[in-house]
């Protein structure tokens, strides 16, 4: 296995002979604020046993320079034992002491130890991010999840800084301009879960206490941190409230005391993902510190992430998958718990399951229809496979299937199984059967068949109602047809809806049943008058695509907006969210013309009371317009959507979330001169909408609209940056510049990202987002050929995080033509030996493109 990769077999062989007793890691980042210093000193001492004395093995390390290697008192020549990715360990003894001193590189890609300089005040901030295998960029180790050990971190940092790690600090030693922080040993954890955060972070401290069943008190110090310049926007109270609600809830449900001492939550800059569950030191993307007004959906999403990471303290950190095949064992659970706990813990976010049905599942459906989809329990051959598997299957489909499992075995058996699993496997590693054993024991049900159907196969089933009625309009037979391979057992609810006098569509009947095989009759419905709407998978118990019979679809065309739960037509409704999700799937599948979908949005989005659902409608309408619409009709649709946005914006309650959402949607859809002029007026203060605060983030979204239509100059964008000279401002300006409709702007963005690796991850993302704009097809068309030519070089030379962004971001997805499809196929057929992970990404882009072409064809008929 060449280079930086590590195969499952190598990991298995290594785990068979090695048992790690402890790590001691010292990092010297005292000169981190000096941008001329590309590296820091890393010293690792590993004590470990080898079951086969005399055997050879290796440690992992990605470092520009190894200073010294000492094994059992014997100095080894780095030039001989270090190849850039591994340190060969020749002739191991029964017990071994390995010390590796290296110069490791500060990262600009968010992988390893990331260094960031705040443009607002010049301060330097560091944090680590490792999953799946980047701890080896910071210290020598055995980088695989099943070689757990206690870690003792010592960090030498500038005297004015604070340092956070997984455990509490034991002592701080002053050394003039620097201080050395020594942390307590952790409990046994995996390398990818270790963490260090260092810098002049702003911190808010709090405390959680709880009486345990045995009468002792559990004390958990809490901290929440962010960059100093973000402190005025930091609503730590809200974050800590959700944190305490979550700690109450998980203690009550999991009945296993939080095992990692203290709980820090660090909001860090230029973070690649949402958050990471490092025990005792969770890292979050700092965009969760809101510097402008956001909607309640953003707060809900943040609370979801806080609870997701907290669930990992048990699912993932206390009990960890043996290898990345079973990544779902932690991610599916955490994803499920993120929603479940929002309701269960009594947070103020009551729409969790609506959001889950509408947004989270959309991610799963998309991923599960790619040719590259995989079972929830995946086949992960190596680290590149692992990196790509943090996907819609592992997270959202896995969570959906767990929701189905709760419906199948019952809530009590599910949680009793989880409790038994934690007790049995605490600080250990597990595979699928360990979990099934625990759940079978508590539920008394055989879960092997369930697991085979749901966890070990891929693909999504479609459920369609089939209704036959008599001459009097009474149901003769209502059945649910199941399509897709394999057919699966589903626990579902079928809802029947009728129109009330006020036009609302209300549920009159609900039948809960097990669906199995191709066709299942809903016997209880016979004899009832034919309803206006049949909704299969009402209440969203299972994971499937929902279809409608003809009559139901006609009802939705005129009445979707009136679909309501008991709480009334103005309340958020799960049934309505499910209907929106179903019509979106019909559109994506080329079964509903894009114009019909957009017509539903035009008619009913204005009535959608759940702002999260509304915002996903906006996103989907944007996508529909960009890639699913008949190109000949695109301009007409865009105008209609912008007019709709304008109308709703003027009618929304002043200062409301809905008003903000519509303002953003107007910026997304504005193309006509008068609409763009309106945005400009809002920016320069000559225009005003009652209650709408045009704050900094909204200003940037207006500038992006103006820039991409050639109505903003580089000077104006520079002036806006002057006004907002922050990290966020720099990213936004970079995006706006890349979005300018000129060949020069496109060339500059391409060169900055593809031809150079100078930019940090966050600016790479901004440049790509600006480059690839749906309205600029002619300008970006010349880059399709260079894109395919660059792919393999990019994959070989760039870090995987950046390579993934380039491959996905520069794919000519707005060139929705048969020619682009042919070029993609040509690349795939002539590169059978390209890295499998790279081929997977290109195959997924190809599938999106083919789907767009089918949808366009449907819309053109
Ligand atoms: Zn997670």
| pLDDT reported for residue 408 | 85
Q: How confident is the model at residue 566 (pLDDT cuts 50, 70, 90)?
A: confident
573 Cα–ligand 1 center, Å: 27
- The pLDDT confidence band at residue 346, using thresholds 50, 70 and 90, is very high
Whole-number average pLDDT of the chain: 96
Q: Distance between terminal CA atoms of the chain?
A: 51
- The residue from 143, 309, 384, 608 that is catalytic is 309
Residue 597 DSSP class: H
Identify the band that residue 711 occupies on the pLDDT scale cut at 50, 70 and 90: very high
Residue 309 appears among annotated catalytic residues: yes
Q: Compute the average pLDDT of residues 803-830.
A: 98
Whether 576 contacts 563, CB under 8 Å: yes
> Quick one: pLDDT at residue 1?
39
Beta strand segments in 122-274, E: 124-129, 151-158, 162-165, 169-175, 178-183, 196-199, 202-211, 217-226, 263-268
The rounded Å distance from CA 389 to ligand 1 centre is 12
| Ligand 1 midpoint to CA 796 (Å) | 28
Residue 815 in tokens: 């060139």
Question: Rounded to the nearest whole angstrom, what is the distance from the C-alpha of residue 217 to the centroid of ligand 1?
Answer: 28
Q: How far is the CA of 312 from the centre of ligand 1 (A)?
A: 7
Angle in degrees, CA 11, 17, 21, rounded to 5: 95
**What's the CA gap between 732 and 656, in Å, rounded?**
24
**Above 90 in pLDDT, residue 489?**
yes
The Cα–Cα gap between 367 and 355 comes to 18
Placement of tokens 């850039």 in the chain: 84
Q: Report phi then psi at 74, rounded to 5.
A: -105, 125
Give the distance (Å) from ligand 1 centre to CA of residue 308: 6
Q: From ligand 1's centre to the CA of 391, what distance in Å?
A: 11
Return the residue matching tokens 């939550």: 265
Instruction: Give me the mean pLDDT over the 333-342 stretch.
Output: 96
At 369 the pLDDT is: 98
> CA 861, CA 852: separation in Å to the nearest integer?
15
Q: φ and ψ at 327, to 5 degrees?
A: -50, -35
Q: What is the pLDDT of residues 500-509, one digit of tens each?
A: 988 899 999 9
Please give the full DSSP string across 273-320, using - where no structure is assigned. Answer: SSEE--TTEEEEEGGGS-SS---HHHHHHHHHHHHHHHHHTTBTTTBE
The three-class DSSP label of residue 82 is strand
Q: How far is the CA of 635 from the centre of ligand 1 (A)?
A: 41
Contact between 628 and 620 (Cβ < 8 Å): no
Phi-psi region of 161 (alpha: psi -120 to 50; beta: other; left: phi over 0): beta
The conformational region for residue 336 under phi > 0 = left, psi -120 to 50 = alpha, else beta, is alpha
Distance 240 CA to ligand 1 centre (A): 19
Instruction: State mean pLDDT over 46-63.
Output: 98
Alpha carbon of 325 to ligand 1 centroid (Å): 15
- Ligand 1 centroid to Cα of residue 43, in Å, is 29
Which residues crowd ion ligand 1, with CB under 5 Å? 331, 334
* H/E stretch holding 141: none
Single pTM value for the model: 0.97
Give the rounded distance of the alpha carbon of 222 from its chain centre.
25
Grade residue 569 by pLDDT with cuts at 50, 70 and 90. confident
pLDDT for 2: 44
490 bridge partner residues: 515
Interstrand relation of 151-158 and 178-183 (parallel, antiparallel or unpaired): antiparallel
Average pLDDT over every residue of 214-223: 97
239-275: per-residue pLDDT in tens?
999 999 999 999 999 999 999 999 999 999 999 999 9
Q: What distance in Å separates the CA atoms of residue 248 and residue 725, rounded to the nearest whole number?
A: 41
Q: What pLDDT, on a 0 to 100 scale, did the predictor assign at position 694?
A: 97
160 CB neighbour count, 10 Å cutoff:
12
Distance (Å) from CA 85 to ligand 1 centroid = 27
Supply the Cα-derived Rg of the chain in whole angstroms. Answer: 28
Q: What tens digit of pLDDT does each residue of 745-768 get? A: 999 999 999 999 999 999 999 999
Under 8 Å between Cβ of 325 and 385: no
Give the pLDDT score at 409.
87
Backbone angles phi, psi at 557, to 5 degrees: -60, -35
Nearest residue to 577 via CA among 351, 401, 400, 332: 351
* CA 247 – ligand 1 centroid, Å: 17
Inform me whether the pLDDT recorded for 418 exceeds 90. Answer: yes
Q: How far apart are the CA of 685 and the centre of ligand 1, in A?
A: 43
Q: Return the half-sphere exposure (C-beta side, CA atoms, 13 A cut-off) of residue 333.
A: 26
């Amino acid at each position: 296995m060449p280079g930086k990769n590590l195969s499952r077999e190598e990991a298995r062989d290594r785990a068979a002979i090695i048992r790690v007793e402890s790590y001691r890691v010292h990092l010297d980042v005292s000169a981190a604020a000096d941008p001329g210093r590309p590296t820091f000193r890393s010293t690792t001492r590993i004590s470990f046993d080898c079951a086969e004395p005399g055997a050879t093995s290796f440690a992992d390390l990605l470092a520009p320079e190894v200073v010294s290697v000492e094994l059992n008192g014997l100095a080894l020549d780095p030039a001989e034992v270090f190849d850039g990715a591994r340190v060969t360990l020749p002739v191991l003894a029964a017990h071994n002491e390995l010390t590796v001193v290296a110069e490791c590189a500060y990262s600009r890609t968010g992988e390893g130890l990331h260094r960031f300089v705040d443009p607002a005040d010049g301060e330097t901030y560091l944090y680590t991010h490792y999953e799946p295998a980047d701890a080896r960029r910071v210290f020598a180790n055995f980088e695989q999840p099943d070689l757990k050990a206690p870690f003792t971190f010592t960090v030498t940092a500038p005297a004015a800084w604070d340092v956070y790690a997984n455990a509490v600090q034991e002592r701080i030693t002053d050394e003039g301009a620097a201080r050395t922080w020594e942390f307590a040993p952790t409990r046994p954890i995996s390398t990818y879960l270790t963490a260090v955060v260092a810098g002049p972070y702003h911190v808010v401290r709090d405390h959680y206490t709880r009486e345990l069943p045995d009468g002792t008190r559990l004390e958990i110090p809490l901290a929440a941190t962010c960059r100093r310049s973000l402190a005025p926007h930091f609503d730590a109270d809200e974050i800590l409230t959700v944190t305490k609600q979550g700690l109450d809830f998980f203690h009550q449900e999991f009945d296993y005391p939080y095992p990692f001492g203290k709980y820090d939550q660090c909001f860090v800059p230029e973070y690649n993902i949402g958050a990471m569950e490092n025990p005792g030191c969770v890292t979050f993307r700092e965009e969760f510190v809101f510097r402008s007004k956001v909607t309640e959906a953003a707060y809900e999403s943040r609370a979801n992430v806080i609870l997701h990471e907290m669930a990992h303290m048990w699912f993932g950190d206390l009990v960890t998958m043996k290898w990345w095949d079973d990544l779902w064992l932690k991610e599916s659970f955490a994803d499920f718990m993120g929603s479940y706990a929002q309701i269960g813990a009594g947070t103020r976010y009551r729409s969790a399951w609506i959001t889950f049905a509408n947004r989270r599942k959309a991610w799963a459906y998309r991923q599960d229809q790619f040719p590259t989809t995989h079972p929830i329990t995946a086949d992960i051959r190596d680290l590149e496979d692992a990196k790509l598997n943090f996907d819609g299957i592992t997270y959202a489909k896995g969570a959906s299937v767990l929701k189905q499992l709760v419906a199948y075995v019952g809530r009590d058996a599910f949680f009793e199984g989880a409790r038994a699993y934690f007790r049995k496997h605490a600080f250990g590693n597990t595979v699928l059967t360990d979990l099934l054993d625990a759940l079978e024991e508590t539920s008394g049900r055989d879960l092997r068949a369930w697991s085979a159907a749901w966890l070990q196969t891929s693909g999504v089933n479609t459920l369609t109602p089939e209704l036959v009625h008599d001459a009097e309009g009474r149901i003769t037979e209502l059945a649910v047809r199941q399509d897709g391979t394999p057919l699966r057992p589903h626990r579902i609810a079928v809802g029947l809806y009728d129109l009330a006098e006020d036009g609302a569509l209300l549920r009159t009947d609900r039948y809960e049943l097990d669906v199995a095989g191709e066709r299942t009759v809903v016997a209880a419905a016979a004899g009832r008058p034919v309803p206006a709407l049949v909704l299969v998978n009402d209440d969203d118990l299972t994971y499937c695509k929902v279809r409608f019979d003809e009559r139901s679809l006609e009802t939705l065309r005129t009445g979707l907006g009136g679909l309501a739960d008991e709480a009334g037509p103005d309340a958020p409704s799960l049934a309505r969210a499910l209907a929106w999700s179903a019509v979106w799937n019909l559109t994506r599948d080329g079964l509903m013309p894009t114009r019909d979908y957009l017509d539903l949005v035009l008619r009913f989005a204005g009535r959608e009371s759940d702002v999260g659902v509304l915002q996903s409608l906006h996103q989907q309408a944007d996508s529909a317009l960009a890639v699913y619409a008949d190109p000949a009709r695109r301009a007409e649709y865009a105008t209609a959507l912008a007019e709709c946005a304008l109308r709703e914006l003027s009618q929304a309650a002043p200062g409301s979330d809905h008003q903000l959402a519509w303002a953003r949607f107007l910026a997304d859809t504005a193309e006509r001169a008068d609409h763009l002029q309106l945005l400009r007026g809002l920016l320069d203060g000559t225009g005003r909408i009652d209650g709408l605060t045009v704050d900094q983030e909204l200003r940037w979204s207006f500038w992006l609209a103006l820039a991409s239509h050639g109505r903003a100059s580089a000077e104006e964008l520079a002036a806006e940056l002057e006004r907002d000279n922050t990290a966020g401002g720099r990213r936004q300006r970079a995006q706006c510049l890349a979005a300018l409709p000129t060949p020069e702007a496109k060339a500059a963005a391409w060169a900055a990202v593809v031809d150079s690796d100078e930019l940090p991850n966050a600016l790479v993302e901004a440049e790509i987002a600006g480059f690839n704009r749906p309205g600029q097809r002619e300008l970006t068309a010349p880059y399709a050929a260079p894109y395919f030519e660059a792919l393999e070089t990019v994959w070989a030379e760039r870090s995987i995080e950046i390579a993934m962004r380039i491959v996905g971001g520069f794919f000519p997805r707005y060139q929705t033509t048969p020619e682009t499809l042919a070029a993609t196929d040509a690349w795939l057929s002539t590169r059978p030996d390209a890295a499998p992970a790279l081929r997977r990404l290109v195959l997924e882009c190809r599938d999106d493109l083919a789907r767009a072409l089918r949808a366009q064809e449907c819309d053109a008929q």
